[in-house]
Structure 1
Amino acid sequence: MVETLQRALFNHLREMTQKLYWRNPREWRKTDADGWQERVDELFDNPQSHQWRFQELDGAVGVEAIHLAFRESYEGDRVFAFAAGIGGMLMASYENKTEFFLFDLNSLDPQKLYNSARNLEIAFWKLTHMRSESGDLYLLSNEPGSLETNQDLSFERLAGKIIVIQDLLAQIVAQKTKRAIKQALQFIASSVFLPI
Protein backbone atom coordinates (compact mmCIF):
# COMPACT_ATOMS: atom_id res chain seq x y z
CA MET A 1 0.00 0.00 0.00
CA VAL A 2 2.78 2.45 0.90
CA GLU A 3 4.59 1.73 -2.37
CA THR A 4 1.36 2.26 -4.34
CA LEU A 5 0.69 5.60 -2.66
CA GLN A 6 4.29 6.68 -3.10
CA ARG A 7 4.19 5.84 -6.82
CA ALA A 8 0.96 7.81 -7.23
CA LEU A 9 2.54 10.74 -5.38
CA PHE A 10 5.56 10.88 -7.67
CA ASN A 11 3.42 10.39 -10.78
CA HIS A 12 1.45 13.50 -9.76
CA LEU A 13 4.68 15.39 -9.08
CA ARG A 14 6.03 14.37 -12.49
CA GLU A 15 2.83 15.61 -14.16
CA MET A 16 3.06 18.90 -12.27
CA THR A 17 6.70 19.32 -13.32
CA GLN A 18 5.76 18.79 -16.97
CA LYS A 19 3.01 21.39 -16.69
CA LEU A 20 5.41 23.84 -15.05
CA TYR A 21 7.84 23.44 -17.94
CA TRP A 22 5.02 23.96 -20.45
CA ARG A 23 4.09 27.24 -18.74
CA ASN A 24 7.72 28.25 -18.09
CA PRO A 25 9.80 27.14 -21.11
CA ARG A 26 12.41 29.80 -20.34
CA GLU A 27 13.51 27.67 -17.36
CA TRP A 28 14.69 24.56 -19.23
CA ARG A 29 16.21 26.83 -21.87
CA LYS A 30 18.62 28.12 -19.21
CA THR A 31 20.33 24.72 -19.45
CA ASP A 32 21.92 22.81 -22.31
CA ALA A 33 18.97 20.37 -22.43
CA ASP A 34 17.34 19.65 -25.79
CA GLY A 35 13.87 20.10 -24.30
CA TRP A 36 11.71 20.01 -21.20
CA GLN A 37 11.32 16.22 -21.40
CA GLU A 38 15.05 15.76 -20.90
CA ARG A 39 14.84 17.80 -17.68
CA VAL A 40 11.83 15.82 -16.42
CA ASP A 41 13.58 12.53 -17.20
CA GLU A 42 16.68 13.70 -15.33
CA LEU A 43 14.54 14.27 -12.25
CA PHE A 44 12.24 11.26 -12.30
CA ASP A 45 13.99 8.45 -14.17
CA ASN A 46 16.08 6.37 -11.78
CA PRO A 47 15.90 8.72 -8.78
CA GLN A 48 17.85 6.19 -6.66
CA SER A 49 20.96 7.11 -8.63
CA HIS A 50 20.82 10.78 -7.65
CA GLN A 51 18.75 10.63 -4.42
CA TRP A 52 17.36 14.08 -5.28
CA ARG A 53 20.83 15.65 -5.03
CA PHE A 54 21.94 17.60 -8.07
CA GLN A 55 25.22 19.37 -8.66
CA GLU A 56 23.47 22.31 -10.33
CA LEU A 57 21.62 23.05 -7.07
CA ASP A 58 24.91 23.50 -5.18
CA GLY A 59 24.05 20.92 -2.53
CA ALA A 60 20.53 22.24 -1.87
CA VAL A 61 18.16 19.37 -1.10
CA GLY A 62 14.52 19.31 0.03
CA VAL A 63 13.23 22.60 1.39
CA GLU A 64 16.60 24.27 0.67
CA ALA A 65 16.05 23.58 -3.05
CA ILE A 66 12.47 24.88 -2.82
CA HIS A 67 13.81 28.12 -1.33
CA LEU A 68 16.35 28.31 -4.14
CA ALA A 69 13.54 28.31 -6.73
CA PHE A 70 12.20 31.56 -5.22
CA ARG A 71 15.50 33.33 -4.52
CA GLU A 72 15.87 36.56 -6.49
CA SER A 73 19.56 35.95 -7.20
CA TYR A 74 19.08 32.39 -8.50
CA GLU A 75 19.80 32.20 -12.22
CA GLY A 76 19.28 28.46 -12.75
CA ASP A 77 16.25 26.40 -13.75
CA ARG A 78 13.61 27.28 -11.15
CA VAL A 79 11.24 24.49 -12.19
CA PHE A 80 14.02 21.95 -11.69
CA ALA A 81 14.92 23.39 -8.27
CA PHE A 82 11.26 23.41 -7.17
CA ALA A 83 10.53 19.84 -8.31
CA ALA A 84 13.84 18.49 -6.97
CA GLY A 85 13.12 20.17 -3.64
CA ILE A 86 9.64 18.65 -3.41
CA GLY A 87 10.97 15.23 -4.43
CA GLY A 88 13.81 15.32 -1.92
CA MET A 89 11.52 16.44 0.89
CA LEU A 90 8.98 13.72 0.11
CA MET A 91 11.65 11.01 -0.02
CA ALA A 92 12.98 12.15 3.35
CA SER A 93 9.49 11.65 4.78
CA TYR A 94 9.67 8.05 3.52
CA GLU A 95 13.12 7.56 5.08
CA ASN A 96 14.50 7.56 1.50
CA LYS A 97 12.96 4.15 0.81
CA THR A 98 11.05 3.00 -2.26
CA GLU A 99 10.45 -0.59 -1.16
CA PHE A 100 8.44 -1.42 1.91
CA PHE A 101 7.84 -4.74 3.59
CA LEU A 102 5.40 -5.85 6.26
CA PHE A 103 7.36 -4.52 9.22
CA ASP A 104 8.61 -1.39 7.46
CA LEU A 105 5.49 0.48 8.50
CA ASN A 106 7.04 0.83 11.95
CA SER A 107 10.07 2.56 10.42
CA LEU A 108 7.91 5.33 8.93
CA ASP A 109 7.36 8.38 11.11
CA PRO A 110 3.81 9.74 10.87
CA GLN A 111 5.04 13.14 12.08
CA LYS A 112 7.45 13.40 9.13
CA LEU A 113 4.67 12.49 6.72
CA TYR A 114 2.36 15.06 8.34
CA ASN A 115 5.07 17.75 8.36
CA SER A 116 5.80 17.13 4.69
CA ALA A 117 2.11 17.64 3.89
CA ARG A 118 2.19 21.02 5.68
CA ASN A 119 5.41 21.89 3.86
CA LEU A 120 3.71 21.04 0.57
CA GLU A 121 0.98 23.54 1.39
CA ILE A 122 3.62 26.22 1.94
CA ALA A 123 5.56 25.28 -1.22
CA PHE A 124 2.44 25.35 -3.39
CA TRP A 125 1.39 28.68 -1.87
CA LYS A 126 4.82 30.05 -2.77
CA LEU A 127 4.42 28.68 -6.29
CA THR A 128 1.27 30.71 -6.89
CA HIS A 129 2.16 33.85 -4.92
CA MET A 130 5.92 34.53 -4.74
CA ARG A 131 7.00 37.39 -6.98
CA SER A 132 10.32 38.84 -8.01
CA GLU A 133 11.34 42.40 -7.19
CA SER A 134 9.90 43.44 -10.56
CA GLY A 135 6.50 42.05 -9.54
CA ASP A 136 6.49 39.00 -11.83
CA LEU A 137 5.72 35.52 -10.55
CA TYR A 138 8.87 33.42 -10.35
CA LEU A 139 6.97 30.54 -11.94
CA LEU A 140 3.66 30.57 -13.79
CA SER A 141 1.28 27.84 -12.64
CA ASN A 142 -2.50 28.34 -12.51
CA GLU A 143 -3.82 30.35 -15.40
CA PRO A 144 -6.38 32.94 -14.36
CA GLY A 145 -9.58 32.85 -16.36
CA SER A 146 -12.15 35.45 -17.18
CA LEU A 147 -15.90 35.43 -17.56
CA GLU A 148 -15.45 34.18 -21.12
CA THR A 149 -12.80 31.53 -20.44
CA ASN A 150 -12.40 28.86 -17.84
CA GLN A 151 -9.70 29.18 -15.25
CA ASP A 152 -7.01 26.48 -15.44
CA LEU A 153 -6.69 25.10 -11.92
CA SER A 154 -4.87 21.91 -12.86
CA PHE A 155 -1.94 22.82 -10.59
CA GLU A 156 -4.30 23.24 -7.64
CA ARG A 157 -5.82 19.83 -8.32
CA LEU A 158 -2.43 18.12 -8.54
CA ALA A 159 -1.21 19.90 -5.40
CA GLY A 160 -4.35 18.78 -3.57
CA LYS A 161 -3.83 15.16 -4.62
CA ILE A 162 -0.21 15.18 -3.45
CA ILE A 163 -1.11 16.72 -0.08
CA VAL A 164 -4.01 14.30 0.45
CA ILE A 165 -1.78 11.28 -0.18
CA GLN A 166 0.72 12.47 2.44
CA ASP A 167 -2.01 13.28 4.98
CA LEU A 168 -3.74 9.95 4.39
CA LEU A 169 -0.54 7.98 4.84
CA ALA A 170 0.37 9.97 7.97
CA GLN A 171 -2.98 9.01 9.52
CA ILE A 172 -2.66 5.35 8.50
CA VAL A 173 0.87 5.04 9.92
CA ALA A 174 -0.13 6.86 13.12
CA GLN A 175 -3.06 4.49 13.68
CA LYS A 176 -1.12 1.33 12.83
CA THR A 177 1.91 2.25 14.95
CA LYS A 178 -0.13 3.86 17.73
CA ARG A 179 1.87 7.10 17.52
CA ALA A 180 0.35 10.55 17.85
CA ILE A 181 0.82 13.38 15.40
CA LYS A 182 1.38 16.87 16.76
CA GLN A 183 -0.86 19.12 14.73
CA ALA A 184 0.67 22.39 13.56
CA LEU A 185 -1.44 25.50 13.17
CA GLN A 186 0.12 27.60 10.44
CA PHE A 187 -0.61 30.70 8.48
CA ILE A 188 0.61 29.75 5.04
CA ALA A 189 1.85 33.18 3.94
CA SER A 190 4.16 33.61 6.94
CA SER A 191 4.99 30.00 7.69
CA VAL A 192 8.38 28.39 7.77
CA PHE A 193 8.92 24.84 6.62
CA LEU A 194 8.59 22.17 9.31
CA PRO A 195 11.47 19.76 9.95
CA ILE A 196 11.37 16.37 8.21
Structure 2
Amino acid sequence: MVALTGAAMCTGCVSYQDAPTAHGKVRSTAMTTADLAQTDINRMATLGMRANLESLYRLADKLYKRNPREWRKGGAATQAQAMVQLRAAIEGRRRLPDLKDLRDVKALSLSLDPSFSGDRVAAFVFSLSDTIVAAHGGTTVFYLSDGLDAQRIYNAARNVEIAAWLLSSRHDITGKPLLLANALADVRNVSFEREFGKIIGRLDLLAEMLDEKYRRAGIGYVQNLLGAQFLQFLPVR
Protein backbone atom coordinates (compact mmCIF):
# COMPACT_ATOMS: atom_id res chain seq x y z
CA MET A 1 0.00 0.00 0.00
CA VAL A 2 2.80 2.40 0.93
CA ALA A 3 4.59 1.59 -2.33
CA LEU A 4 1.44 2.23 -4.35
CA THR A 5 0.84 5.53 -2.59
CA GLY A 6 4.42 6.63 -3.21
CA ALA A 7 4.19 5.62 -6.88
CA ALA A 8 0.96 7.61 -7.29
CA MET A 9 2.54 10.66 -5.68
CA CYS A 10 5.59 10.42 -7.95
CA THR A 11 3.34 10.06 -11.00
CA GLY A 12 1.54 13.23 -9.97
CA CYS A 13 4.85 15.06 -9.57
CA VAL A 14 6.05 13.97 -13.00
CA SER A 15 2.84 15.03 -14.73
CA TYR A 16 2.99 18.40 -12.98
CA GLN A 17 6.64 19.02 -13.89
CA ASP A 18 6.11 17.94 -17.50
CA ALA A 19 3.59 20.69 -18.30
CA PRO A 20 4.27 21.83 -21.89
CA THR A 21 6.25 25.04 -22.34
CA ALA A 22 6.16 25.32 -26.14
CA HIS A 23 4.31 28.65 -25.93
CA GLY A 24 6.39 30.09 -23.10
CA LYS A 25 6.93 29.75 -19.37
CA VAL A 26 5.46 31.49 -16.36
CA ARG A 27 7.69 34.43 -15.53
CA SER A 28 8.68 35.06 -11.93
CA THR A 29 10.95 37.54 -10.18
CA ALA A 30 13.43 37.01 -7.38
CA MET A 31 12.22 37.85 -3.88
CA THR A 32 13.36 41.20 -2.49
CA THR A 33 13.06 42.90 0.89
CA ALA A 34 10.41 45.20 -0.61
CA ASP A 35 8.14 42.16 -1.04
CA LEU A 36 7.85 41.94 2.74
CA ALA A 37 5.91 45.21 2.70
CA GLN A 38 3.35 43.87 0.24
CA THR A 39 0.19 41.86 0.85
CA ASP A 40 -1.04 39.37 -1.74
CA ILE A 41 -3.43 42.03 -3.07
CA ASN A 42 -0.59 44.59 -3.22
CA ARG A 43 1.51 42.16 -5.24
CA MET A 44 -1.39 41.30 -7.55
CA ALA A 45 -2.07 45.01 -8.16
CA THR A 46 1.62 45.65 -8.88
CA LEU A 47 1.87 42.78 -11.36
CA GLY A 48 -1.44 43.79 -12.96
CA MET A 49 -0.27 47.38 -13.38
CA ARG A 50 3.00 46.24 -14.95
CA ALA A 51 1.12 43.98 -17.39
CA ASN A 52 -1.40 46.70 -18.26
CA LEU A 53 1.33 49.21 -19.07
CA GLU A 54 3.08 46.64 -21.27
CA SER A 55 -0.25 46.03 -23.05
CA LEU A 56 -0.55 49.77 -23.67
CA TYR A 57 2.97 49.89 -25.11
CA ARG A 58 2.06 47.03 -27.46
CA LEU A 59 -1.07 48.90 -28.50
CA ALA A 60 0.97 52.03 -29.18
CA ASP A 61 3.45 50.07 -31.28
CA LYS A 62 0.64 48.46 -33.30
CA LEU A 63 -1.14 51.78 -33.78
CA TYR A 64 2.05 53.52 -34.90
CA LYS A 65 2.67 50.78 -37.46
CA ARG A 66 -0.82 51.21 -38.92
CA ASN A 67 -0.75 55.00 -38.60
CA PRO A 68 2.86 56.12 -39.27
CA ARG A 69 1.77 59.73 -39.85
CA GLU A 70 1.09 60.02 -36.10
CA TRP A 71 4.61 59.46 -34.75
CA ARG A 72 5.93 61.97 -37.25
CA LYS A 73 3.69 64.66 -35.70
CA GLY A 74 5.66 64.46 -32.45
CA GLY A 75 8.96 65.33 -34.09
CA ALA A 76 10.51 61.86 -33.64
CA ALA A 77 13.00 60.72 -36.27
CA THR A 78 11.75 57.11 -36.15
CA GLN A 79 8.88 55.11 -34.74
CA ALA A 80 11.27 53.53 -32.24
CA GLN A 81 12.22 56.98 -30.96
CA ALA A 82 8.54 57.92 -30.66
CA MET A 83 7.98 54.79 -28.55
CA VAL A 84 10.92 55.69 -26.30
CA GLN A 85 9.50 59.19 -25.79
CA LEU A 86 6.03 57.84 -25.03
CA ARG A 87 7.31 55.28 -22.54
CA ALA A 88 9.39 57.95 -20.78
CA ALA A 89 6.36 60.26 -20.51
CA ILE A 90 4.19 57.48 -19.07
CA GLU A 91 6.72 56.12 -16.60
CA GLY A 92 7.89 59.59 -15.60
CA ARG A 93 4.29 60.78 -15.18
CA ARG A 94 5.13 63.77 -17.39
CA ARG A 95 2.58 65.85 -19.26
CA LEU A 96 2.19 65.82 -23.03
CA PRO A 97 2.14 69.31 -24.61
CA ASP A 98 -0.53 68.22 -27.13
CA LEU A 99 -2.91 67.45 -24.26
CA LYS A 100 -2.84 71.02 -22.88
CA ASP A 101 -2.01 69.87 -19.32
CA LEU A 102 -5.16 67.72 -19.18
CA ARG A 103 -4.99 64.39 -17.34
CA ASP A 104 -6.81 61.03 -17.19
CA VAL A 105 -10.37 61.03 -18.62
CA LYS A 106 -10.28 64.69 -19.71
CA ALA A 107 -7.12 64.00 -21.69
CA LEU A 108 -8.70 60.82 -23.05
CA SER A 109 -11.69 62.80 -24.33
CA LEU A 110 -9.39 65.24 -26.10
CA SER A 111 -7.34 62.44 -27.69
CA LEU A 112 -10.55 61.07 -29.21
CA ASP A 113 -11.83 64.43 -30.42
CA PRO A 114 -12.05 64.44 -34.24
CA SER A 115 -10.52 67.93 -34.33
CA PHE A 116 -7.40 66.89 -32.35
CA SER A 117 -4.36 67.54 -34.56
CA GLY A 118 -1.46 66.24 -32.45
CA ASP A 119 0.05 62.76 -32.23
CA ARG A 120 -3.18 60.88 -31.54
CA VAL A 121 -1.49 57.57 -30.78
CA ALA A 122 0.71 59.08 -28.05
CA ALA A 123 -2.18 61.14 -26.67
CA PHE A 124 -4.57 58.17 -26.63
CA VAL A 125 -2.18 55.68 -25.03
CA PHE A 126 -0.79 58.23 -22.55
CA SER A 127 -4.32 59.20 -21.50
CA LEU A 128 -5.35 55.57 -21.02
CA SER A 129 -2.29 54.93 -18.87
CA ASP A 130 -2.97 58.07 -16.83
CA THR A 131 -6.59 57.02 -16.33
CA ILE A 132 -5.56 53.58 -15.07
CA VAL A 133 -2.80 54.92 -12.80
CA ALA A 134 -5.14 57.60 -11.38
CA ALA A 135 -7.68 54.88 -10.52
CA HIS A 136 -4.94 53.13 -8.54
CA GLY A 137 -4.23 56.21 -6.44
CA GLY A 138 -1.53 57.67 -8.69
CA THR A 139 1.10 54.99 -8.18
CA THR A 140 2.24 51.84 -9.98
CA VAL A 141 3.79 49.82 -7.14
CA PHE A 142 1.72 49.03 -4.06
CA TYR A 143 2.59 48.40 -0.41
CA LEU A 144 0.82 47.91 2.91
CA SER A 145 0.33 51.66 3.33
CA ASP A 146 -1.44 52.02 -0.03
CA GLY A 147 -5.22 51.92 -0.21
CA LEU A 148 -6.97 50.76 -3.38
CA ASP A 149 -10.59 51.57 -4.18
CA ALA A 150 -12.42 48.73 -5.93
CA GLN A 151 -15.02 51.03 -7.50
CA ARG A 152 -12.42 53.36 -9.00
CA ILE A 153 -10.62 50.43 -10.60
CA TYR A 154 -13.93 49.04 -11.85
CA ASN A 155 -14.68 52.46 -13.35
CA ALA A 156 -11.28 52.46 -15.04
CA ALA A 157 -12.14 49.15 -16.71
CA ARG A 158 -15.36 50.66 -18.06
CA ASN A 159 -13.40 53.67 -19.33
CA VAL A 160 -11.08 51.36 -21.25
CA GLU A 161 -14.13 49.66 -22.78
CA ILE A 162 -15.58 53.00 -23.84
CA ALA A 163 -12.24 54.19 -25.24
CA ALA A 164 -11.84 51.00 -27.29
CA TRP A 165 -15.36 51.38 -28.71
CA LEU A 166 -14.85 55.05 -29.55
CA LEU A 167 -11.54 54.28 -31.23
CA SER A 168 -13.22 51.77 -33.53
CA SER A 169 -16.32 53.86 -34.26
CA ARG A 170 -15.31 57.53 -34.43
CA HIS A 171 -14.18 59.27 -37.60
CA ASP A 172 -12.28 62.46 -38.27
CA ILE A 173 -13.63 65.51 -40.09
CA THR A 174 -12.88 63.85 -43.47
CA GLY A 175 -14.87 60.73 -42.60
CA LYS A 176 -11.87 58.47 -42.03
CA PRO A 177 -11.33 56.45 -38.81
CA LEU A 178 -9.47 58.41 -36.15
CA LEU A 179 -6.86 55.66 -36.16
CA LEU A 180 -6.60 52.46 -38.16
CA ALA A 181 -6.82 49.59 -35.68
CA ASN A 182 -8.79 46.34 -36.07
CA ALA A 183 -9.17 45.05 -39.63
CA LEU A 184 -12.14 42.84 -40.52
CA ALA A 185 -11.85 42.83 -44.31
CA ASP A 186 -9.47 40.66 -46.37
CA VAL A 187 -7.12 39.76 -43.50
CA ARG A 188 -8.88 39.60 -40.15
CA ASN A 189 -6.84 41.38 -37.44
CA VAL A 190 -8.41 41.83 -34.01
CA SER A 191 -5.16 41.94 -32.04
CA PHE A 192 -6.08 45.43 -30.79
CA GLU A 193 -9.36 44.12 -29.39
CA ARG A 194 -7.57 41.25 -27.62
CA GLU A 195 -5.09 43.63 -25.99
CA PHE A 196 -7.89 45.88 -24.77
CA GLY A 197 -9.67 42.80 -23.45
CA LYS A 198 -6.63 41.76 -21.42
CA ILE A 199 -6.45 45.18 -19.76
CA ILE A 200 -10.17 45.17 -18.97
CA GLY A 201 -9.99 41.64 -17.58
CA ARG A 202 -7.08 42.45 -15.26
CA LEU A 203 -8.79 45.57 -13.93
CA ASP A 204 -12.08 43.74 -13.34
CA LEU A 205 -10.35 40.87 -11.54
CA LEU A 206 -8.48 43.26 -9.24
CA ALA A 207 -11.70 45.18 -8.49
CA GLU A 208 -13.47 41.93 -7.59
CA MET A 209 -10.56 40.78 -5.42
CA LEU A 210 -10.53 44.10 -3.54
CA ASP A 211 -14.28 43.95 -2.98
CA GLU A 212 -14.03 40.33 -1.83
CA LYS A 213 -11.19 41.24 0.54
CA TYR A 214 -13.36 43.65 2.52
CA ARG A 215 -16.38 41.35 2.31
CA ARG A 216 -14.39 38.43 3.71
CA ALA A 217 -12.96 40.65 6.47
CA GLY A 218 -16.52 41.48 7.55
CA ILE A 219 -17.57 37.84 7.41
CA GLY A 220 -14.51 36.80 9.40
CA TYR A 221 -15.32 39.36 12.10
CA VAL A 222 -18.88 38.03 12.46
CA GLN A 223 -17.65 34.43 12.49
CA ASN A 224 -15.25 35.26 15.30
CA LEU A 225 -18.05 36.84 17.32
CA LEU A 226 -20.37 33.87 16.82
CA GLY A 227 -17.65 31.33 17.46
CA ALA A 228 -16.24 32.97 20.56
CA GLN A 229 -18.85 31.37 22.83
CA PHE A 230 -17.79 27.89 21.67
CA LEU A 231 -14.08 28.53 22.17
CA GLN A 232 -14.09 29.11 25.93
CA PHE A 233 -12.09 26.88 28.26
CA LEU A 234 -14.16 24.33 30.18
CA PRO A 235 -13.89 23.89 33.97
CA VAL A 236 -11.85 20.87 35.08
CA ARG A 237 -12.44 21.06 38.85
Shorter-chain TM-score tier? 0.7 to 0.9
Structure 1 vs Structure 2 CA RMSD: 1.7
1:128 aligns to 2:162 (yes or no)? no
Aligned-residue offset at 1:56? 2.8
**Cα pair 1:31 1:77 within 8 Å, conserved:** yes
In structure 2, the residue matched to 1:144 is 184
1:18 aligns to 2:61 (yes or no)? yes
**Cα pair 1:12 1:158 within 8 Å, conserved:** yes
Unmatched segments (≥5 aa) in structure 2 = 1-43, 217-237
- State the aligned residue count: 173
Aligned-residue offset at 1:144? 2.0
Q: TM-score, normalised by structure 1?
A: 0.82
Which runs of at least 4 in structure 1 moved beyond 6 Å after TM superposition? none
Aligned match for 1:2, one of 23, 36, 45: 45
Query: How far apart are the structure 1 equivalents of 2:114 and 2:144?
Result: 46
Aligned-residue offset at 1:154? 0.3
Query: How far apart are the structure 2 equivalents of 1:45 and 1:59?
Result: 17
Q: Percent identity?
A: 38
**Secondary structure of the equivalent of 1:29?**
helix
Unmatched segments (≥5 aa) in structure 1 = 180-196
1:58 aligns to 2:100 (yes or no)? yes
Query: How far apart are the structure 2 equivalents of 1:55 and 1:46?
Result: 11
Query: How far apart are the structure 2 equivalents of 1:91 and 1:59?
Result: 16
Query: How far apart are the structure 2 equivalents of 1:89 and 1:38?
Result: 24
**Secondary structure of the equivalent of 1:166?**
helix
1:1-196 aligned within 5 A: 1-45=44-88, 47-49=90-92, 51-104=93-146, 107-146=147-186, 150-178=187-215
Aligned-residue offset at 1:103? 4.9
Larger Rg: 2
